[in-house]
Amino acid sequence: MKSTLLLTAAALLAAAIPAHAESRDMPGNALQGRELAVKECSQCHLVSRAARAAGHAGVGPAFADIADSASITPTSLFVFLHSSHPPMPDIILSKQESADVIAYIMSLKRSPL
C-alpha cells in the first residue's frame, strides 16, 4: 500500500518535470538496466519475474508489479528514481543509468490481454 502511494505520488510529480528530463530523450538499454538492477536493487526488490517464481521475497515492490501498474510511465519512473523515498537508500543514478533501469522495468510490463 505504501509503495503504491509512493508510485502514485511520483506519477503526479511527473507533470512537473520538463520534457527534456524525460528518460526517452536518452534511450535506455534494458540489458544494462537489468545488470544495474541486480547489482543495486536486488537486496530489497524482486528485479525479475524469475525471482518471484523461485519464491524469493522482497522488501520493496517487485519490478514486474511496478511495470504492470497502470499509472507507470517512463516519466513517472524517472521522477521516482530521482526523488527521496525512505526507507529506500538514496542511490544516485546518472541519466543513462536511469534510462537503462527504466527500460528494463518497462520491458517487464505484461502485454494487455
Closest by CA to 48, choosing from 101, 110, 108, is 108
Which amino acid is it at 75?
A: T
More confidently predicted of 17 and 11: 11
Q: Which of 18, 4, 43, 23 is nearest to 104 (CA)?
A: 23
Domain locations in the chain? 2-107
**Whose CA is closest to 28, among 92, 96, 113?**
96
Average the pLDDT over 19-24 and give the result: 41
Decide if pLDDT at 24 tops 50. Answer: no
For 97-113, how does the pLDDT look when each residue is reduced to its tens digit (9 = 90+)? 999 999 999 999 987 65
Mean pLDDT of 20-34: 72
User: Is residue 88 very low, low, confident or very high in pLDDT (cuts 50, 70, 90)?
Assistant: confident
Q: Is the pLDDT of residue 18 over 80?
A: no
How much of the chain exceeds pLDDT 70, in percent?
68
